[in-house]
Structure 1
Amino acid sequence: MIGLARLDNDLAGWLDRTLVVPGVLPPERFEEAFVAIVTSGAPDPEEAWLAFYRNTLDALRGEPEPGGTNAELKPVHERAEELAVGSVLELGSCFGFLALRLAQAGHEVTATDLVPGTVGLLDRMAPRLGLAVDTVVADARHVPLPDGHADTVFAVHLLEHLPAEEGKAVLAEAIRLARRRVVVAVPFEQLPNETWGHVTTFDAGALHRLGEETGLPFEVSEHHGGWLVVDR
């Protein structure tokens, strides 16, 4: 059993480095192993998840361990917070760390993800953390929310998980849902990271082409990966 104080999102990177990369754990068993380790942290799995959330949010706001997953996410989330305008909708929110960060910053936040279990976990943890986040189970290509639902729509580290054409559909849906701004962030990789479920790689040129297809004003930049910002 891992102690509650050590439960945070760096566990994902540790599993990848020590078990997946050496071939001990197949990538398709990664999620199962991750959940099993987190929930072994306390007799009540909900208390283990709460510690996981608190520790991760503290690390992302503070000084995460160098080389860990939190250290990789911290500058991405900081940049995303800088780009947030008004109310926020996050597509593909996963655990919801960015959504919670933006709620902490005072934004009205809606988080969506395709996986009901992940959405349910965020829905349970947010109030225990004293934060308000609306949650919706949704495919990012077809979100059951009205046009212009939020001022800023985020797709942060989402498009690399999708085939290229599906990524374009997500961007089109994000534009439909945004009143003011769409923010896309992706890692720049030579090969897709199988452990994290990546299937598409990006560089600055690929983001420029995506932006051009929107027909709207856009900017592409690089900050711990690539960023596409489309302003309506």
Structure 2
Amino acid sequence: MTEATTSAPIDPLQACLDGAYVDEVVEVRAQGPVPPRRALHTIRTEHFDVHNDGDLLHVGHRVPPELVDDDLAGMLADELFGPGWLRGPDLFERIFTGTVRTSRSGALDSWELFYRNTMMRLEQCVDGPGVGGHSTIADYAPVYARAESLLAPGSVLELGSCFGFLSLRIAASGRRTTASDLSPGTTRLLAEMAPRLGIPLTAVAADAGHFPGDDASADTVLAIHLLEHLDAEHGERVLAEAVRVAARRVVIAVPLEEEADETWGHVRTISLDDLTEWGRATGLPFEVSEHHGGWLVLDKR
């Protein structure tokens, strides 16, 4: 079992070296058909070959361009992290980044492929059955659709937006939208991708517990599958910030898990009772419901 140790932040736009994504933890490169014999100490799955030489974890992938989308997360979970060959969210993110980066030669071109494929498949899943079988995109499509249905009129701020797919969908509908994430690399990537997709969007790198915005500066504030990644104290600060920045409504969504899923970086479980307690603590009108997870909606007016 291999797990990444503390290392430098991931730069999703860094240049590849001789066709490979290389950082201080992993080397990832695209490869052709696998040879018939298994190399010594190599983990081989349908889409990946992995071995560790003591300095770097070397990953060869056979992910075709048409499958370079956010379902790559499920692929990594199913083939490498779920079985226990690898573990840790940092290592997961590095292999994910390296696989996308080596799907095309240019940094922006590779991420544009990833974003366009994901947005197309997300649209298919929201509007119909979309991608069949197990699919990361199909799993979060109904969550995004629910979040979109709960928006108050006006502008939107999403805290913890990650790649920003939900924010992009909202912005494409004509709303003034800001996507915020703790990772400067992720927000920089989103700021580069939005114009390529023809979508006006503001991306801000910020801790969701200390957002640099005025009181009541966004009509709706979203925290969709964010709080399970944060400890209780940090989560309380995020909820307080969401209430402060929202002019009309706060929408919180969390997965309902029996155990926190480490593969996805979850550090705690949150129940419907927890959501109810949070709602009562704000003193605002609120509603708790269940739809592909738990939901807390707070109304300020």
TM-score (norm: length of structure 2): 0.76
Which shifted more, 69-78 or 19-28? 19-28
The one-letter code sitting in structure 2 at the alignment partner of 1:225 is G
The one-letter code sitting in structure 2 at the alignment partner of 1:82 is S
Q: Which of 131, 143, 159 pairs up with 2:211?
A: 143
Percent of pairs with identical residues: 53
Instruction: Provide the alpha-carbon RMSD of the alignment.
Output: 0.9
Q: Which of 63, 68, 75 pairs up with 2:135?
A: 68
> Tell me, what secondary structure is at the counterpart of 2:204?
strand
CA distance in 1, matches of 2:148, 2:120: 16
Match of 1:173 in 2: 241
Match of 2:67 in 1: 6
Match of 2:116 in 1: 54
Shift in Å, 1:18: 0.7
Match of 1:30 in 2: 92
CA distance in 2, matches of 1:87, 1:132: 13
Match of 2:47 in 1: none
Shift in Å, 1:3: 2.6
> Tell me, what secondary structure is at the counterpart of 1:195?
helix
Instruction: Give the number of the structure whose residues are more often strand, by fraction.
Output: 2
Q: Which of 145, 151, 155 pairs up with 1:87?
A: 155
Q: Which deviations, in whole Å up to 9, do the C-alpha atoms of 1:99-137 show, x marking residues without a partner?
A: 001011221100111100000000000000000111111
CA distance in 1, matches of 2:201, 2:294: 26
Taking the TM superposition and a 5 Å limit, the aligned residue runs for 1:208-223 are: 208-223=276-291
CA distance in 2, matches of 1:84, 1:159: 19
Shift in Å, 1:77: 0.4
Shift in Å, 1:23: 1.6
Q: Which deviations, in whole Å up to 9, do the C-alpha atoms of 1:151-190 show, x marking residues without a partner?
A: 0000001000001121111011000000000000000001
Match of 2:266 in 1: 198
Taking the TM superposition and a 5 Å limit, the aligned residue runs for 1:62-141 are: 62=124, 63-85=130-152, 86-141=154-209
CA contact (8 A) 1:4 1:48 kept: no
CA contact (8 A) 1:112 1:136 kept: yes
Which shifted more, 2-11 or 67-76? 2-11
1:39 aligns with 2:106: no
Match of 1:185 in 2: 253
Q: Which runs of 5+ in 1 are unaligned?
A: none
Number of equivalences: 232
